[in-house]
Amino acid sequence: MREAEDIAVAILGIGRMATGLAVDLALNGCAVDVIDIKPRNTEERQAKSAELRAEFHSAAGQLKRDAANLPAPAYCGAEIPQKNYAYVFEALPEEIPVKQAAYKAMGKTIAGATALCSMTSTFTVEELTAGMTLSADMVVTHFMNPPWLIPFLEVVTPDSMASQNVDALFAFLRSAGHMPIRCKSSPGFVISRLQVGLMNEAVRLMEEGVASPEDIDRAITHGWGYRFPVMGILEFIDAGGLDILHHGGHSVARALGRPDLNSPALIGRKYAEGAYGTKTLRGLFDYGDGSELAEREAVRLDRQVRLKALLDQFQAEEDARQAQKQGQGV
């Protein structure tokens, strides 16, 4: 396995995600070149370079990392260095023509790379490469913002990509402190589809006056926030019971006249089979003989208690901050 500090990486773009990833990989010892597709004058180049260095040192401070012993990401402007990069990450505007023009401009630089990785949150591999022949495998690496703080990302690899190159990419990402998951080439991937559903429903609740915007947000931070850092949504469904979701989903859908809120067909099939989750030892997951369930639940409860203490501390700090502002008449 090659460690991150052995690897030279190019990043196309200078926006938030590009800068965030450049900082992240540099903090993990990579030699990072940031290539800006927009021609800029000397003053603008100097400003962009200064902004990149400032974010690098700011993130290092937040993470308590010794930036003095790490190579800061290099801003290269629109000039493409003639180097052999292991990976080229593209973080350009979500416009196919813009992205493809940059791929063509990189030319031979891409040829030596293990993969050309687009940080798109919208397009599939097929859309990104339509009408093009690339000299490196096109991969989607959908990071969350900021990449130096959030380890999770989604990876979509083409079926034609050699298994050793897939393994090398995942090993590199893990060595840089990330938690990659592999998913199929599907619009929205995993995170965006989950987010779209949640965000749209939150806005509908606000639109319908069901609760105030502040309280809808509190439902996330003080409801889900106390639960989902220690258990996944599918695990939660099994713990609560698929029978509950089956009946509850259909009930809410009927009451609101919203067929889209009906439980998916898979829930209906599991319900018909009597696979209700942990209480039947079968649901979305298989729990075998159930011998490990008690231990798993004990570990989860312990983590939730510790998480609650931390989140309660955050709330106390926020209450104190608000009280101070009121005292100052702000």
**What gap in Å lies between CA 309 and CA 322, rounded to an integer?**
20
Kindly write down the DSSP assignment for every residue of 122-139, as one continuous string.
Answer: S--HHHHTTT---SSEEE
What does the block give as tokens for 245? Answer: 């979701």
List, for residues 258-283, the tens digit of each pLDDT value.
999 999 999 999 999 999 999 999 99
The residue-averaged pLDDT of 59-73 equals 89
C-beta of residue 140 within 8 angstroms of C-beta of residue 185: yes
**What gap in Å lies between CA 227 and CA 269, rounded to an integer?**
27
Most confident listed range (92-96, 120-124, 325-329): 92-96
List, for residues 196-223, the tens digit of each pLDDT value.
999 999 999 999 999 999 999 999 999 9
Residue 307, C-beta contacts closer than 8 angstroms, at least 6 positions apart: 226, 229, 230
**What gap in Å lies between CA 238 and CA 88, rounded to an integer?**
40
**What gap in Å lies between CA 29 and CA 42, rounded to an integer?**
28
pLDDT at 134: 85
Cα 29 to chain centroid distance, Å, stands at 21
Beta bridge partners of 179: 152
pTM above 0.85, yes or no: yes
* Model confidence band, residue 329 (pLDDT cutoffs 50, 70, 90): confident
Judge whether residue 189 has pLDDT over 60. yes
Domains of the chain: 4-182 (3.40.50.720), 222-327 (1.10.1040)
What does the block give as tokens for 280? Answer: 């039947």
C-beta of residue 124 within 8 angstroms of C-beta of residue 154: no
Residue 87 burial (C-beta neighbours within 10 Å; 0-12, 13-18, 19+): buried
pLDDT at 113: 87
R_g of the chain, CA atoms, integer Å: 23
Cis peptide before 146 (omega within 30 of 0): yes
* Model confidence band, residue 1 (pLDDT cutoffs 50, 70, 90): very low
> What is the four-CA torsion angle of 35, 37, 39, 42, rounded to 10 degrees?
-20
* Model confidence band, residue 330 (pLDDT cutoffs 50, 70, 90): low
